[in-house]
Amino acid sequence: MCAAEGISSCPCTASELTKGSLRLALVQRLLKTHGVRSYTVHTVGLKLSSEGRPIPLGQLTLHSPELVVRGAAGSVAATVTMGARSGSYLVLVPGGGEPQTLREPQQVANLILAARLGGRS
């Protein structure tokens, strides 16, 4: 997948972007069955440079998608992205310290549901 082995986003290929989006969609569907609201954020960077040309040239940079999970009050309850080398889910729960690395979508959903219940977000 394409995110750095941390929660921050990094450039990735279209293939990695698609794989990451599909894997995050699995988690999103599991959360939806429990009434948990979430959405996927896709970040695209576009750098334009004219360098004296009449038509500017552009450089497109795709960044890894992130799944943002909302709590009942609308605050961010968790952020999920994919590990670049491991292909694991990286889950960051506010107040939970370092991102947790999980292999299966059900594990991710269980962690988020437990964090929401514990924090009542």
pLDDT of residue 10: 58
- What pLDDT is recorded for position 6? 39
Spans in the chain with pLDDT lower than 50: 1-8, 121
Q: What is the reported pLDDT for 102?
A: 96
Confidence at residue 2, expressed as pLDDT on a 0 to 100 scale: 38
pTM attached to this predicted model: 0.78
Q: Containing H/E element for 45?
A: strand 44-49
Please state, in angstroms and rounded to a whole number, the distance separating the CA atoms of residues 26 and 2.
17
Tokens of 79: 């952020």
- The reported pLDDT for the residue numbered 1 is 37
Q: What is the pLDDT of residue 119?
A: 59
pLDDT of residue 53: 77
CA-wise closest residue to 62 among 114, 11, 119:
11
